[in-house]
A and B are shown apart, each in its own frame.
Chain A
Amino acid sequence: VTRWSARFPGDSRVLAVAIALAALVAGLTRTPPGAETDTVFVETAVQLARDGADRSGRERPLMVQGADGQWLQPLPVHLASAFVRTGLEPGIAARLVASTAWAVSVWLVYLVGVRLFVKPRAAVLAAALFAATPAGLTLAASGGAALTALPPLLAWFAAVASCLERPRRDVLALGAAALGLGVYTQPAGVLMAPIFLTTGLAALATRHREPALHLSAVTGLVVTLVPLVVWYWQHPGTWVETMGRWAVHLAHIRDPFQGLVAFARWDVAGRRASDYWHYFSPVYLFLTGTVFAAAVAALLPVGLAGCGDRMRRDGWWLVVMAWIAAPLAAALLDAPRSIALAVALLPIGALLAAGGVERLLATRTSVGAVTAWSLAALAVVEGLLRW
């Protein structure tokens, strides 16, 4: 087993692409139990394709008023609308958006893993474990916007991981710009952008503290927000129901002190702390079968405890900090146990679980190797069974 482990896999890139394609197919072809089509998303995409305008009557809107009156972020719904225009059945179009986002994320998890782990097999494992997450399967089949927040986030992680080795301002700026695109994907994306920008830069600062480098990242993020500024300049009335819900209430812009008071209210802080804590509940993550496979419960702590051995040192900080930050946006949105909003847990958890496999393999014992591969196989099989 240990010799086989050393050889695995042959060409990691081919394998990663295959896993990503499998994820795409899985998301499109089957509907696992618990997956319900996001009808508002689908109807809004249809309306955009049909009328070229949303419910508010605005043509090609940046913020889209959904069929139920609630506002949606533009990227996924415009993409779905474009697919509908090509003649695709609306439900399939919505699933295509989610599944594509998922498949791209699988590839990006591999890409991040390659930069973080010493061996490419761990990157492939991370991609496979991510592709087999029950939550990923469910969200892809539901066809909503949740998964579309992941490619921007993972592109940013890939940029940071790459810059840990060889810092390049343009790469970092592009990564941050990609992260900024996350603002246009789903409600949690708005808060995820500053949270993960801070996380990434903090990890980067463990090795590179040049202000110009960090400034390039901030600039990259800010540039992607320019369309937002223009939109709110032209349509100030949409602020309250969009950013006022997803990030900062208008009243708190006018009076930041009141905003701070509202944010730091004792009961609110207590509730958010509870929400945040419950995102890490082992029952929620591993025993309900809705987020990770049960076997990941054993791999993830091992990875968390020891991934420092198997990943390059600064990369370890990136993953650990990202894991800690993953449910922050959802908790700040007062959303308890909503994996659609805390979707960042999935790829980071998969990376940590792959780190756990690597650590067990590093024991260079048959028991370690058998345990590692058995748990990894169990996690993937559980995902397949759910599919």
Chain B
Amino acid sequence: MRATLLHGLAASALTLAVYAWGLDRVPPYLLHDEIKGALQSQALVETGRDLNGRFLPLYFQEPGFTVGRDPASIYFTALVLRVLPLSEASIRLPSAMVGALGVGLTLVLARLWWSGFVVPWAAAATLALAPGYFLHSRLGHQSVYPVPFVLLWLIALTLYLQRGRLAFVYASGAALGLGLYSYLAAVITMPTCLAATVALLAHRRDWRAVRAVILAFGIMLAPLGLWQFVQPDRYADIVASYRVAPAAEAGGRAALPAVAEAIRGRVDTYWDAFNPGRLFFTGESSLNVSTREAGILLLPVAVLLVAGIVHLVRARRVPLHVLLLAMLVLAPLPAAVMADVEIRRWLVALPLAALVAAAGVQAMLGGSRAARVSAACLLASMPLLFAGFLRDYFTEYPARAGQWFGGNIRGAVTEVLDRAEASPPPAVYLHLGVPYLDAYWKFYATARGQSALIARAVYFGSVEDLPPIPEGALLITHAGAGPASVLLAEGWQVAATASEPDGTPSFAVFERSRRP
């Protein structure tokens, strides 16, 4: 077991070296979700309270998102921010670490299932080299957080089936229970895993283990239950925000067609989740989590997956193999329920797919000479394809993706922060027409140690509504848009422009002209 853990550690370290590379440069800008989560973590580090003043809360509520951010990523980021200063790289590093941990755990699990070197490392490599997994692990977002919990569950379950110690069943149930706090989609994923575990154990008539796994899961639910008791509207908010029950909204005679339409939509979403075009060629449509030059998984994995599925179906007497296939099939359930196919909601499918692909490698390596050569070629091609993906990711992708990340708000904000230290300190006006500009202002002011400036900003909705402004005041708005022409006509002048990597100006910093 020690050797297995060392292998896992090595895989995690190798992965982290790649995943954490250049986090301050790519993705090009911070998403507002990353910033809001980071501000919660920073508040936790500084005060032990969230932005609403709650002491160590379970969920982190915000205006417009009353469901609240899940605690795992906020608390883990806070831990990292106790060591590292707040920056773009430091708030993304926790996700990269969790992604790397997922790769290490995949290797540990694969070594518990298969002997030898090649097959377990093939599983880890398949996951580590999956563009979709890489991209999600480099965002300061929760989507990758359920992965380690699902892998810990499988590891514990495997150990129980191999060694028979009930403690492992408790551990598997606890992993699933804790996983509930990792990401909103886990509310569907983890109970599905639990149901699959119960089915597997019940099939073995191991009722003691069934009770144990349910008990452990239930204990981990206690904080959630208490939070629900304190915040009774949370469940209703979740249902409302994801439009899970359109029929109820439709009501009356319209309910039945609404239900039929909802079912059609969700079945279509589920089917689309396995769309090979998305999985192996182009990835997601959003450039936030895709380069559009590579699939969610590398193309050779398609062949390994087919070989793995055939192999596992033939060997279906192995309970864990059945469980693996079942979970792979059920993985897109959160996407289907929420009628949103994006893989971020079912990222746990990727390590499962990696394990199935590893089974394919094992089958091919144990097959004919042609199959062995094919497996070798497929495995060898994966690092090459990933290298091509990385080259594009670090060179051309930032320019393509800039607008998807909200544009170069950072450039405008840091420009104002640079000028705001002048004496006398200028007034700062921020246009609410720039999405989440307030959050960006708070983040960069805090990150640059200029927290005192946060309160100095005045927010306005329209340039026409601006009060009389003192000379020398600074203002951020869109470049080249309507507000800019109004400001120029009213005597403001462009002090600086924040441009995209391709040179397109996106935001402008205006300065109120001083009288000569």
A269 CB to closest chain B CB (Å) equals: 6
* Contact residues, B215-250 vs A (CB, 8 A): none
Determine whether B264 belongs to the interface, using a CB cutoff of 8 Å to chain A. yes
Q: Which stretch from B28-36, B273-281, B374-382 is at the chain A interface?
A: B273-281
Determine whether A267 belongs to the interface, using a CB cutoff of 8 Å to chain B. yes
Residues in B neighbouring A271, C-beta threshold 8 A: 277, 282
Contact assessment for A273 and B276 in the assembled complex, using a CB-CB cutoff below 8 Å: yes
* Known A270-B277, A274-B276, A277-B275; contact A283-B267, beta-carbon cutoff 8 A: yes
Determine whether A258 belongs to the interface, using a CB cutoff of 8 Å to chain B. no
Contact assessment for B268 and A277 in the assembled complex, using a CB-CB cutoff below 8 Å: no
With CB as the reference atom, state the residue of chain B lying closest to A270.
Answer: B281
Contact assessment for A266 and B281 in the assembled complex, using a CB-CB cutoff below 8 Å: yes
Indicate which residue in A273, A282, A288 contacts B277 across the interface (CB closer than 8 Å).
Answer: A273
* Known A281-B268, A282-B267, A287-B264; contact A274-B275, beta-carbon cutoff 8 A: yes
- In the assembled complex, the Cα of A48 lies from the Cα of B282 at a distance in Å of 46
B64 CB to closest chain A CB (Å) equals: 33
- In the assembled complex, the Cα of A283 lies from the Cα of B275 at a distance in Å of 14
Residues in A neighbouring B267, C-beta threshold 8 A: 281-283, 287
Contact assessment for A270 and B264 in the assembled complex, using a CB-CB cutoff below 8 Å: no
Contact assessment for B274 and A266 in the assembled complex, using a CB-CB cutoff below 8 Å: no
A153 CB to closest chain B CB (Å) equals: 25
- In the assembled complex, the Cα of A275 lies from the Cα of B281 at a distance in Å of 13
- In the assembled complex, the Cα of A269 lies from the Cα of B275 at a distance in Å of 13
Residues in A neighbouring B282, C-beta threshold 8 A: 266-267, 270-271
Residues in A neighbouring B490, C-beta threshold 8 A: none
Residues in B neighbouring A267, C-beta threshold 8 A: 281-282, 292
Contact assessment for A274 and B277 in the assembled complex, using a CB-CB cutoff below 8 Å: yes
Determine whether B272 belongs to the interface, using a CB cutoff of 8 Å to chain A. yes
- In the assembled complex, the Cα of A266 lies from the Cα of B281 at a distance in Å of 7
With CB as the reference atom, state the residue of chain B lying closest to A267.
Answer: B282
With CB as the reference atom, state the residue of chain B lying closest to A266.
Answer: B281
Indicate which residue in B275, B280, B293, B295 contacts A278 across the interface (CB closer than 8 Å).
Answer: B275
Residues in B neighbouring A273, C-beta threshold 8 A: 275-277, 280-281
A263 CB to closest chain B CB (Å) equals: 14
Q: Mark A351-381, 1 if CB is under 8 A from B, else 0.
A: 0000000000000000000000000000000
With CB as the reference atom, state the residue of chain B lying closest to A283.
Answer: B268
Residues in B neighbouring A274, C-beta threshold 8 A: 275-278, 281
A238 CB to closest chain B CB (Å) equals: 33
With CB as the reference atom, state the residue of chain A lying closest to B292.
Answer: A267
- In the assembled complex, the Cα of A269 lies from the Cα of B267 at a distance in Å of 24
Contact assessment for B271 and A283 in the assembled complex, using a CB-CB cutoff below 8 Å: yes
Contact assessment for A283 and B277 in the assembled complex, using a CB-CB cutoff below 8 Å: no
- In the assembled complex, the Cα of A355 lies from the Cα of B292 at a distance in Å of 41
- In the assembled complex, the Cα of A275 lies from the Cα of B278 at a distance in Å of 11
Residues in B neighbouring A277, C-beta threshold 8 A: 271-272, 274-277
Residues in B neighbouring A282, C-beta threshold 8 A: 267, 271
Chain A interface extent, by class: 10 to 19
Q: Which of B263, B276, B280 has the most CB of A within 10 A?
A: B276
Give the A-B pair count, Cβ closer than 8 A: 53
A274 CB to closest chain B CB (Å) equals: 3
* Known A273-B276, A277-B276; contact A283-B281, beta-carbon cutoff 8 A: no
Residues in A neighbouring B278, C-beta threshold 8 A: 270, 274
Residues in B neighbouring A284, C-beta threshold 8 A: 268
Contact assessment for A269 and B264 in the assembled complex, using a CB-CB cutoff below 8 Å: no
Q: Mark A272-294, 1 if CB is under 8 A from B, else 0.
A: 11111110111110011000000
Q: Mark A169-209, 1 if CB is under 8 A from B, else 0.
A: 00000000000000000000000000000000000000000
Residues in A neighbouring B277, C-beta threshold 8 A: 270-275, 277
A267 CB to closest chain B CB (Å) equals: 7
Indicate which residue in A272, A281, A288 contacts B271 across the interface (CB closer than 8 Å).
Answer: A281
- In the assembled complex, the Cα of A241 lies from the Cα of B415 at a distance in Å of 57
Residues in A neighbouring B263, C-beta threshold 8 A: 287
* Contact residues, B374-417 vs A (CB, 8 A): none
Residues in A neighbouring B274, C-beta threshold 8 A: 277
A129 CB to closest chain B CB (Å) equals: 22
Contact assessment for B281 and A269 in the assembled complex, using a CB-CB cutoff below 8 Å: yes
- In the assembled complex, the Cα of A276 lies from the Cα of B302 at a distance in Å of 15
* Contact residues, B252-306 vs A (CB, 8 A): 263-264, 267-268, 271-272, 274-278, 280-282, 292-293, 295
With CB as the reference atom, state the residue of chain B lying closest to A282.
Answer: B267
B279 CB to closest chain A CB (Å) equals: 9
- In the assembled complex, the Cα of A269 lies from the Cα of B281 at a distance in Å of 7
A337 CB to closest chain B CB (Å) equals: 11
- In the assembled complex, the Cα of A356 lies from the Cα of B274 at a distance in Å of 24
Q: Mark A248-267, 1 if CB is under 8 A from B, else 0.
A: 00000000000000000011
Residues in A neighbouring B268, C-beta threshold 8 A: 281, 283-284
With CB as the reference atom, state the residue of chain B lying closest to A284.
Answer: B268
- In the assembled complex, the Cα of A145 lies from the Cα of B263 at a distance in Å of 34
Contact assessment for B272 and A281 in the assembled complex, using a CB-CB cutoff below 8 Å: yes
With CB as the reference atom, state the residue of chain A lying closest to B265.
Answer: A283
With CB as the reference atom, state the residue of chain A lying closest to B276.
Answer: A273
- In the assembled complex, the Cα of A275 lies from the Cα of B276 at a distance in Å of 10
- In the assembled complex, the Cα of A278 lies from the Cα of B272 at a distance in Å of 7
Residues in B neighbouring A269, C-beta threshold 8 A: 281
- In the assembled complex, the Cα of A307 lies from the Cα of B22 at a distance in Å of 54
A342 CB to closest chain B CB (Å) equals: 16
- In the assembled complex, the Cα of A362 lies from the Cα of B266 at a distance in Å of 33
- In the assembled complex, the Cα of A276 lies from the Cα of B263 at a distance in Å of 22
A113 CB to closest chain B CB (Å) equals: 27
- In the assembled complex, the Cα of A30 lies from the Cα of B391 at a distance in Å of 60
- In the assembled complex, the Cα of A280 lies from the Cα of B293 at a distance in Å of 25
- In the assembled complex, the Cα of A192 lies from the Cα of B129 at a distance in Å of 37
Residues in B neighbouring A275, C-beta threshold 8 A: 277
A253 CB to closest chain B CB (Å) equals: 27
- In the assembled complex, the Cα of A287 lies from the Cα of B275 at a distance in Å of 18
Residues in A neighbouring B280, C-beta threshold 8 A: 270, 273
- In the assembled complex, the Cα of A119 lies from the Cα of B281 at a distance in Å of 44
Contact assessment for A283 and B264 in the assembled complex, using a CB-CB cutoff below 8 Å: yes
B287 CB to closest chain A CB (Å) equals: 14
Contact assessment for A266 and B275 in the assembled complex, using a CB-CB cutoff below 8 Å: no
- In the assembled complex, the Cα of A269 lies from the Cα of B280 at a distance in Å of 10
- In the assembled complex, the Cα of A273 lies from the Cα of B264 at a distance in Å of 22
- In the assembled complex, the Cα of A284 lies from the Cα of B274 at a distance in Å of 15
Residues in A neighbouring B293, C-beta threshold 8 A: 266
Known A273-B277, A277-B277; further 13 A-B contacts with Cβ < 8 A = A266-B281, A266-B282, A267-B282, A270-B278, A270-B280, A271-B277, A271-B282, A273-B276, A274-B276, A277-B271, A277-B274, A283-B271, A288-B264
- For the complex of A and B, the 8 pairs showing the least CB-CB separation, nearest first, are A270-B281, A274-B277, A273-B277, A270-B282, A283-B268, A273-B276, A270-B277, A281-B271
The 25 listed contacts between A and B (C-beta, < 8 Å) are A266-B281, A267-B281, A267-B292, A269-B281, A270-B278, A270-B280, A270-B281, A270-B295, A272-B277, A273-B276, A273-B281, A274-B276, A274-B278, A275-B277, A277-B272, A277-B276, A277-B277, A278-B271, A278-B275, A281-B271, A282-B267, A283-B264, A283-B267, A287-B263, A287-B267
